Chains A and B, each alone.
Chain A
Amino acid sequence: MKIKSIALLAGLVLAMSLSTSALAKQELRFPINMPEPKEGQVVHVPPTMDDLEASNLHPELKRTIRRGYDLFMNTQQLRGENVFNDMNCKSCHMGEGRLPFAAPVWRAAIAMPNFRGKNQHVNNLEERIAGCFAFSMNGKPPAYGSDDMIALTSYHQWLAKGLPIFERKNFYGAGYPIEKAPSTPSYDRGKKLYTENCAICHSDDGSGMRVDGTPHFPAVWGDLSYNWGAGISRMHTLAGFIRSNMPLGQPMTMSVQESWDIAEYIDSQERPQEPRFTGDVKDTRAKYLDTFHKHTNYGLEKQGRLLGDHENFGEKDFVKPDNLRPRTFK
């Protein structure tokens, strides 16, 4: 199959460039320790924006994809309408949504439409992106079919160029993979590690950093961070993100244990209420336990307080965006 061989070839090229750069720069004090692709893994090297300009796509489509890229990189331009915290898409999906081990977003473009455990129904790519807006951006998704939504889905699909859809492959660098913690994650160890490694950018109080009022380093907890329903509020997701991406420019320098410890510390802090809040945190935790909250500290007592037991929705004046709803086909 042609597509498969292209993907494999791309994989080879990447693997080769990884090993040659590792060989030539052995003297580097901070080598890029990205894992080599494993046997049988498919490596997808997404196209760049330069590739887009050089492509023969219709000029209007190019314009739409550029708009999607711009929204992805500077999502704060939707502040107060769709975004109600200090996050951008690129805050979690590093490297323009292309970087391996930083949940590269092309995977959603080939997996959707699909059944999602989180909301128990079939989601298309727009609805998947809507989830990010509702939870990670503590906001309200752009309307389905709107210019901004089409721009974002177009950018996602551009990054997936050349991949077969609906084929579950073992993709190199998908998601935020991490091994299980060797020992139980520790709040105290996490606090110390956070202070030493993270606070310089994200502040001791987790609020990140603003420069002249402009969000700069993202808030990792508190009112300006993602809410209790965000994927990255799950321990393993945050631990995986940290391990592969933090501190910036030094991937894989925190150990697996350290990454889990920091995740435990961050996930023991407060953040805006879960948009699916029923009015009672324990009830909400129980309702979404199997599909989500078994991986979070939401509704658990940590450091003497019940996490998520509040009616603080951050900057927004609604609980759940009205365009998030079940689908029935009745």
Chain B
Amino acid sequence: MESKTKIKFSALLLGLFFSLPVVALDGDAAAGKASSAICMACHQADGNGMNIPGGESWPRLAGMDANYIYKQLVEFKSGKRVNASMAPFAMMLNDQQMKDLAVYYSQQSAGKAAGGGTDTELLAYGEKLVTQGDWDRYIVPCASCHGPGNKGAGAHFPGIAGQHAGYLESQLIAWQEGKRDNDPQHLMLAIAERMNDRDIKAVAAWLSTQPAH
């Protein structure tokens, strides 16, 4: 049997190993910054996007997982993820530019998201649904996949805390309506289609008030 110290040490090493990103994306942040001019009109100079009530909100990219951003860009270009505003810009990017941009934005720091509103009842309901889910309707808590504090988990489960409410809402609706279909194994789609309008509004509102980092 191994000594206690040795076991503790290997556990520590193991912990370190698992907290590293699975695959580091081969992109260059400086090059990404140079390419980012075309993104700024919507995603803003600091990458924090903008919540647009009643319109199409521009998501925060700052501080998002690089592999996640890269995958979305690839899929906007291929048409696997469909969005009229985003498609023309993705078409302009080559693979290396996508990687560079993804790395660049992943290293920016997230600002404060907007769109949470002041409806305390709605926010309280959102908090409950996000943190506890509603298992009787098989709506699992968001953090089951999106990571501790909903700050993201790896390349496939993006941070949703501190994202603009308008964007979160639009994506959940897009899944419901079959307009977004690029989630692996439809893990998100299955949950989104069980949510009603109030669920979506509440969850999006509360998540936008939470810290992204």
Contacts and interface: CB of A to CB of B under 8 A. Distances in A.
Interface of A: 21, 25, 28-30, 32, 49, 94-96, 98-99, 197, 200-201, 207, 209-214, 216-217, 223-224, 247-251, 311-313, 315-317, 319
Contacts of A95: 133, 135
Contacts of A28: 193-194
> What 9 pairs across the A-B complex have the smallest Cβ distances?
A95-B135, A30-B190, A210-B18, A317-B4, A249-B190, A211-B147, A32-B138, A213-B19, A211-B153
Interface string B1-41: 11110011001001110110000000000000000000000
A313 B135 contact: no
B144 A248 contact: yes
A178 B192 CA distance: 28
A223 B14 contact: yes
B160 to A, nearest CB: 13
A29 B189 contact: yes
B140 A200 contact: no
A211 B190 contact: no
Interface stretch (B79-87, B116-124, B179-187): B179-187
B93 interface: no
Q: Which of B18, B138, B147, B153 has the most CB of A within 10 A?
A: B18
A101 B153 CA distance: 27
B71 to A, nearest CB: 12
A211 B148 contact: yes
B148 A216 contact: yes
9 contacts: A29-B186, A30-B186, A207-B18, A213-B18, A223-B11, A249-B138, A249-B140, A249-B190, A250-B187
A216 B147 contact: yes
B154 interface: yes
A111 B118 CA distance: 48
A317 B7 contact: yes
Contacts of B194: 25, 28, 32
The bracket for how many chain B residues form the interface is 35 or more
B36 to A, nearest CB: 27
Given A32-B138, A216-B148, A317-B3, 17 more contacts: A25-B193, A30-B186, A30-B193, A32-B137, A49-B132, A98-B135, A99-B135, A209-B18, A210-B18, A210-B19, A211-B152, A211-B154, A212-B19, A213-B15, A248-B187, A249-B140, A250-B187
Nearest to A316: B7
A94 B186 CA distance: 20
A248 B148 contact: no
Interface string B171-213: 0000000000000111101110110000000000000000000
Contacts of A214: 148
Contacts of A212: 19, 148
Contacts of A209: 18, 153-154
B184 A315 contact: no
B167 to A, nearest CB: 22
Nearest to A204: B22
Contact of A249 (B16, B18, B152, B187): B187
Nearest to A319: B1
Given A96-B135, A213-B15, A213-B19, A248 B193 contact: no
A96 B141 CA distance: 11
Contacts of B2: 311-312
Given A200-B156, A209-B18, A214-B148, A29 B11 contact: no
B145 interface: yes
